[in-house]
Amino acid sequence: MRRFIAGMAMGAKSITVLSWLVAAFAGALVAARLSHGADRLAAAVIGGAVLAAVVASLVLLPHPRWMAVTGVVGVPLLSYLALQLAYG
């Protein structure tokens, strides 16, 4: 498995990271909008769930360091940005 991931094209790795980041941003934004400003917890739960999935992927499969750093830093950051965008 390590050789498979190491041999993956850079584009495939980039799309994987991009999907993590888009999931965090879009999920938190939709959750915040659906809660109608009643609770910021909805967006935080989605961001936390995406972060947990990213960490699980990083633990179970070998990833390059840049993917790990981008996922672990980017997911909470984009969840927070979506929350700020939703609540202005």
d(CA 15, CA 41): 28
Domain span at residue 43 reads 2-87
Residue 34 neighbours by CB under 8 Å, 6+ apart: 42
pLDDT-derived band at 37 (thresholds 50, 70, 90) equals low
Total domain count, the chain: 1
**Residue 55, class by beta-carbon neighbours within 10 Å (0-12 exposed, 13-18 middle, 19+ buried)?**
middle
Task: Check whether 4 has a pLDDT greater than 80.
Answer: no
Higher per-residue pLDDT: 4 or 62: 62
